[in-house]
C-alpha cells in the first residue's frame, strides 16, 4: 500500500506539472485564435488518445515532458497554401500574440504554486497556534525579559499578534533589536522588552543565500514535568533522579511542569506525596530509533514517596526539583557525543567551554554558532568543497563539555568494576571511554561513587562530512530530554489573509532560491552533479509522501517554480529560446531567418541531449549510492 501511495504521488506531481504547463500554451493559443492540433502529455508511443473538435489529446509512454502542436508553429515543416495562409495559423499571428502563447507555459508554472500553496494553507491551517507562551527556555531572550509560561502576547513592537505565526514573523525580523512585548498575565497588563537573538539560517549557503533572523527561545507547548533533581535534596533522598517524570502530586494528576509547580506550592508546610515514572536508561541508539526511544523513555511503573514540603519559599525548589531544561535526550549511535564522551539520556549538561549551561537549546545555539558563521562568510559558496570542509571543521575545534551523571544501581556497579580494574588504575591499560578516563583521573573516585553522582568532562569535536553531493553536513546529536504538550489552538481568525500571506512568502522564497541556484549553476559555483531528472523527482516525491499530502503539495509548488524558471532561459527549443527569437523579430520587424533558427535548433537539441545524459547519470549514481548505503 505504501508503494502504491508513492507511485500515485509521483504520477500526481509529474502529471500536474506537465499538464498545467502545456495547458497554459493550449489555453492562451485558443484565446488568441490559434488552431491547436495536438495536446500530448509525455513522448513516444501513444497509450491513450481521443479527439475533440480540431484537437487530438494523448497520454504517451515516456513521462519526460509534453507538448502542444499548433498549426504553423514549425516554420521548417511543409504546409499547403491553404494552411500557410490560414489566419488561425500560429505564424500568421502578431508577434505579441505569439509571445503570449509561448510565455503562457512558464506563467502557468508560476500560477500553479500560487494555487497549490493557497489551497494548502486554507486546508491545513484552519486552526492556528495561539500566541500564548507554553515554555520559556532558560538562558534565552524571553527568559531574560521576564516572560513566563501562560503569558498571552498581544503585541510585538506595537504590532498586534493574533497567532504564534504572527509572533514568530515579527520576532524574526527584529534580530538584535530591543523589542517591546505587550503581555496579558491573568488580570495584569505588562510591557516587557527583549532583544531577539540573531540566528543564521544557512540552509541555502551553498548558493550564497544566508538568512538572518531573530528568536527569543520560547515554545507554545508547555513542557511536561520531567525534572532535574538536586543531589542530596529531599527529592533525591526519596529516590528521584534526573530525567524522572512526575505523574501526580498528592493524588492530583499533573501533565505539565506548571501544573506540578502550582500543586506543590499549595502544599507549603505540609507533606507532599509525589508519584513519578523513572527514566528508562538506554545507550546510544540508531538515528531511526531516536523518536521511538524518546516516546517510551518513561514507560516504567510509577513510584510514590511522601516528602515534607518546606514551610516557606518555592516548594519545588525546596524539595530539590527544577524543570529539566539541561537534561540530554537520546543520543544517536556513533555520533561524536556517543563516541567521544559517552553521553546518555538523563545526563545534565552543566557547562560548555567553562561557561554555565541553562538549557540544551542554549547550548546547541552556542555549539553551532561558529559553524554557521563560516557558512555566512562572504564568498563561501565559491569555495571548493575541500576548503569548505576544512574551514568548518576548524570552527568546531576546542569545545569542552561537562555533564553531571547521577548514578543508578547499574552505574554504581559499572564504576565499582572499573575501580577494581588494577590495570586501568595503574596505567597498564589505556582508558577508552569517558567513564574510564574519569575513573583513572579521579583520586577520590570512590568517595564520589559513594555520594551517588559524578561529573564527566572532555573535549567534543563535532563531525562534519561531505555528503553525496559534496555539500557539508554537521552531525549534531545533542537534543533535549524534555517533551512538550500540544500547544493551545484557535480557529484561524483571518483564513484568507493568512493564506495569501503564507502563499506570497513561500512563493517568493522558493523563486529566490531557485533563481539564484540557476544563476550560480551557470556561473559554475554549483556543480552539475546537483542536477536531477525524473528519478530524482521520484525520489523527492517518495520522501515527501512519507511526510503526508501537505509535503507533496509543497513539493509540487517548488518543482513548478523550478520548471517555470528553467523554461524561461534563452535556450533554443525551450520557451525562453522562442521568446528570444520573437524579441529579435519585434526589434527587426522581420522574422529570424529559417537557417538561423535551424542552426539554433540543432545547437539546442545537442545541449538538451547532453543535459539529459547528465541528469540521467546523476540520477543513476544517486540510486546506486542509495542501494549501496549501509
In order, the DSSP letters of 5-60 are HHHHHHHHHHHHHHHHHHHHHHHHHHHTTPPEEEEEEEEEEEEEEEEETTEEEEEE
288 with 188, same domain: the answer is no
Confidence check: pLDDT of 608 > 80: no
294 with 165, same domain: the answer is no
Confidence check: pLDDT of 289 > 80: yes
Give the domain extent around 234: 227-407+452-475
pLDDT digits (tens, 9 = 90+) for 46-97: 889 999 988 999 988 876 678 899 998 877 667 677 777 888 888 889 999 9
Give the residue, 194 or 384, on which the prediction is more confident: 194
Residue 134 C-alpha cell reads as 507554553
273 with 372, same domain: the answer is yes
In order, the DSSP letters of 414-438 are HHHHHHT-HHHHHTSS---SHHHHH
Q: What is d(CA 69, CA 518) in angstroms, rounded to the nearest whole number?
A: 29
573 with 526, same domain: the answer is yes
Confidence check: pLDDT of 568 > 80: yes
Place of cell 556517543: 338
622 with 566, same domain: the answer is yes
Residues 6+ apart with CB under 8 A from 571: 577, 604, 607, 608
Residue 162 C-alpha cell reads as 493574533
304 with 387, same domain: the answer is yes
Q: Is residue 429 part of a domain?
A: no
Residue 182 C-alpha cell reads as 505587550
Helix and strand numbers (H, E) in the chain are 21, 24
511 with 584, same domain: the answer is yes
Catalytic residue among 22, 206, 228, 337: 22
Q: Which pLDDT score is estimated for 626?
A: 63
Q: What is d(CA 352, CA 363) in angstroms, rounded to the nearest whole number?
A: 7
Of the candidate ranges 24-33, 426-435, 510-519, the one whose mean pLDDT is the lowest:
426-435
Q: Is residue 480 part of a domain?
A: no
Of the candidate ranges 110-124, 151-165, 522-536, the one whose mean pLDDT is the lowest:
522-536
153 with 199, same domain: the answer is yes
The CATH number linked to 457 is 2.30.42.10
Burial 265-284 (b: 16+ CB within 10 A, else e): eebeeeebebbbbbbeeeeb
Mean pLDDT across the stretch 569-598?
86
Residues 6+ apart with CB under 8 A from 378: none
Residues 6+ apart with CB under 8 A from 123: none
> Any idea what the Cα angle at residue 221 is, between residues 220 and 226, rounded to 5°?
140
Q: Which pLDDT score is estimated for 76?
A: 67
Q: Is residue 293 part of a domain?
A: yes
pLDDT digits (tens, 9 = 90+) for 309-325: 888 788 999 999 999 99
Asked if residues 121 and 499 have their Cβ atoms less than 8 Å apart, the reply is: yes
Mean pLDDT across the stretch 164-184?
93
Catalytic site includes residue 198: no
Which of 444, 475, 506 represents a domain boundary (last residue)?
475
In order, the DSSP letters of 589-619 are TSPPPHHHHHHHHHHHHHHHHHHHHHHHHHH
Residues 6+ apart with CB under 8 A from 220: 129, 130, 131, 132, 133, 134, 164, 487, 488
Q: What sign does the dihedral 238-242-244-248 (CA atoms) show?
A: positive
Q: What is d(CA 150, CA 136) in angstroms, rounded to the nearest whole number?
A: 10
Amino acid at each position: 500500500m505504501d508503494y502504491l501511495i508513492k507511485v500515485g504521488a509521483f504520477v500526481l506531481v509529474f502529471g500536474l506539472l506537465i499538464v498545467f504547463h502545456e495547458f497554459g500554451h493550449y489555453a492562451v493559443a485558443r484565446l488568441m485564435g490559434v488552431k491547436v492540433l495536438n495536446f500530448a502529455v509525455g513522448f513516444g508511443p501513444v497509450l491513450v488518445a481521443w479527439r475533440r473538435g480540431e484537437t487530438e489529446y494523448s497520454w504517451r509512454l515516456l513521462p519526460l515532458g509534453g507538448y502542444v502542436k499548433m498549426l504553423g508553429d514549425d516554420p521548417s515543416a511543409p504546409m499547403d497554401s491553404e494552411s500557410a495562409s490560414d489566419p488561425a495559423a500560429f505564424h500568421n499571428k502578431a508577434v505579441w500574440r505569439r509571445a503570449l502563447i509561448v510565455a503562457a507555459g512558464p506563467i502557468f508554472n508560476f500560477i500553479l504554486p500560487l494555487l497549490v500553496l493557497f489551497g494548502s494553507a486554507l486546508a491545513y491551517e484552519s486552526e492556528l497556534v495561539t500566541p500564548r507562551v507554553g515554555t520559556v527556555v532558560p538562558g534565552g531572550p524571553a527568559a531574560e525579559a521576564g516572560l513566563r509560561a501562560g503569558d498571552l502576547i498581544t503585541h510585538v513592537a506595537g504590532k498586534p499578534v493574533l497567532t504564534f505565526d504572527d509572533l514568530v514573523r515579527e520576532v524574526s525580523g527584529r534580530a538584535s533589536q530591543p523589542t517591546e512585548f505587550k503581555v496579558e498575565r491573568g488580570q495584569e497588563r505588562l510591557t516587557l522588552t527583549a532583544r531577539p537573538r540573531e540566528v543564521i539560517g544557512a540552509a541555502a549557503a551553498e548558493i550564497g543565500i544566508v538568512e538572518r533572523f531573530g528568536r527569543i527561545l520560547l515554545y507554545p507547548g508547555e513542557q511536561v514535568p520531567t525534572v532535574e533533581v538536586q543531589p542530596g535534596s529531599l527529592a533525591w533522598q526519596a529516590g528521584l533522579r534526573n530525567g524522572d517524570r512526575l505523574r501526580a502530586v498528592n493524588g492530583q494528576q499533573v501533565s505539565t511542569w506548571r501544573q506540578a509547580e502550582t500543586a506543590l506550592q499549595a502544599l507549603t508546610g505540609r507533606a507532599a506525596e509525589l508519584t513519578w515514572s523513572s527514566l528508562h536508561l538506554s545507550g546510544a541508539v540508531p538515528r531511526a530509533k531516536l523518536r521511538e526511544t524518546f516516546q517510551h523513555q518513561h514507560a516504567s511503573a510509577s513510584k510514590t514517596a511522601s516528602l515534607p514540603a518546606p514551610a516557606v519559599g518555592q516548594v519545588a525548589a525546596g524539595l530539590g526539583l527544577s524543570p529539566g531544561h539541561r537534561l540530554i535526550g537520546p543520543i544517536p549511535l556513533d555520533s561524536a557525543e556517543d563516541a567521544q564522551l559517552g553521553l546518555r539520556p538523563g545526563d545534565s549538561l552543566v557547562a560548555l567551554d567553562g561557561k554555565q549551561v541553562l538549557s540544551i537549546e542554549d547550548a546547541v545555539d552556542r555549539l553551532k554558532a561558529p559553524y554557521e558563521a563560516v557558512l555566512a562568510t562572504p564568498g563561501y559558496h565559491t569555495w571548493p568543497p575541500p576548503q569548505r570542509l576544512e574551514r568548518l571543521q576548524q570552527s568546531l575545534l576546542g569545545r569542552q563539555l561537562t555533564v553531571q551523571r547521577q548514578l543508578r544501581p547499574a552505574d554504581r556497579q559499572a564504576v565499582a568494576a572499573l575501580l577494581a580494574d588494577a590495570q586501568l588504575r595503574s596505567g597498564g591499560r589505556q582508558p577508552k571511554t569517558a567513564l574510564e578516563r574519569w575513573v583513572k583521573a579521579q583520586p577520590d573516585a570512590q568517595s564520589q561513587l559513594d555520594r551517588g553522582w559524578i561529573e564527566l568532562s572532555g573535549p567534543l569535536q563535532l563531525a562534519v562530512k561531505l555528503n553525496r553531493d559534496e555539500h557539508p553536513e554537521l552531525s549534531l546529536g545533542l537534543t533535549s530530554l524534555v517533551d512538550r504538550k500540544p500547544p493551545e489552538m484557535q480557529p484561524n481568525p483571518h483564513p484568507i489573509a493568512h493564506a495569501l500571506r503564507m502563499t506570497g512568502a513561500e512563493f517568493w522564497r522558493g523563486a529566490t532560491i531557485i533563481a539564484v541556484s540557476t544563476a550560480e549553476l551557470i556561473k559554475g559555483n554549483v556543480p552539475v552533479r546537483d542536477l536531477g531528472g525524473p528519478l530524482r523527482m521520484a525520489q523527492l516525491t517518495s520522501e515527501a509522501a512519507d511526510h503526508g499530502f501537505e509535503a507533496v503539495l509543497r513539493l509540487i509548488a517548488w518543482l513548478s517554480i523550478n520548471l517555470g524558471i528553467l523554461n524561461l532561459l534563452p535556450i533554443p527549443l525551450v520557451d525562453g529560446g522562442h521568446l528570444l527569437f520573437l524579441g529579435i523579430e519585434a526589434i527587426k520587424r522581420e522574422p529570424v531567418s529559417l537557417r538561423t533558427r535551424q542552426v539554433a535548433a540543432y545547437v539546442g537539441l545537442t545541449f538538451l541531449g547532453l543535459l539529459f545524459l547528465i541528469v540521467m547519470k546523476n540520477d543513476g549514481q544517486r540510486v546506486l549510492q542509495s542501494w549501496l548505503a549501509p
